[in-house]
Amino acid sequence: MAPRSLVMDLLEGASLGDIDDTLPPHVAIRYLDYCLDALGAAHDAGIVHRDIKPDNILLTLQGNIKLLDVGIATLREHIAGITVVTKEGYVMGTPGYMAPEQARGHWDQVDRQSDIWALGATFSSCCRERQFTPPRPPTRPSGSPWWWRPDR
């Protein structure tokens, strides 16, 4: 088997999380449109990002938007030769941006709609002076770490 490598662009710019001010609505809509295009391409390839948040959306020096950090992304469809393992009940992602099913660790329910939830939470926080705060899942105690497992 030939050695494998991953080649990535060098990206310079600032994440939406680095921006100290709220985004004007017309700017937020333009950025949101770019993110929806990127997510659509990922979803069409069967990839669910699972960690969309302001820090993972980069505004490049050229004015482009890049969706970053697929470290906990997963495949929704079975692809021959690839095994994806996420234990049911484990929580991965960023609290405050995760969809409820993801925050509860119900991985069989996490799909493209979960990414859309996270994108909405992200842009809600970028357009407001405070972070979007969805209702906490009843099975997860406040302040528990992201890897907390409800059945322990």
Q: For every residue of 28-83, which 3-state class applies, written as one string?
A: HHHHHHHHHHHHHHHHHCCEECCCCCHHHEEEECCCCEEECCCCCCEECCCCCCCC
Please report whether residue 120 resides in a domain. Answer: yes
Q: Are 113 and 103 in contact (CB under 8 A)?
A: no
How many domains does the structure of the chain reveal? 1
Please report whether residue 117 resides in a domain. Answer: yes
Please report whether residue 95 resides in a domain. Answer: yes
Gap between the Cα atoms of 49 and 97, Å rounded: 12
Gap between the Cα atoms of 122 and 144, Å rounded: 21
27-67 confidence digits (pLDDT tens)? 899 999 999 999 999 999 888 998 999 999 999 998 899 99
Please report whether residue 11 resides in a domain. Answer: no
Q: Which of 9, 37, 51, 115 is catalytic?
A: 51
Gap between the Cα atoms of 22 and 140, Å rounded: 30
User: Which structural domain, as residue segments, surrounds residue 62?
Assistant: 17-126
pLDDT computed for residue 67 by the predictor = 92
Residues of the chain with pLDDT under 50: 135-141, 145-149, 151-152
Residue type, 48: V
Active site residue 18: no
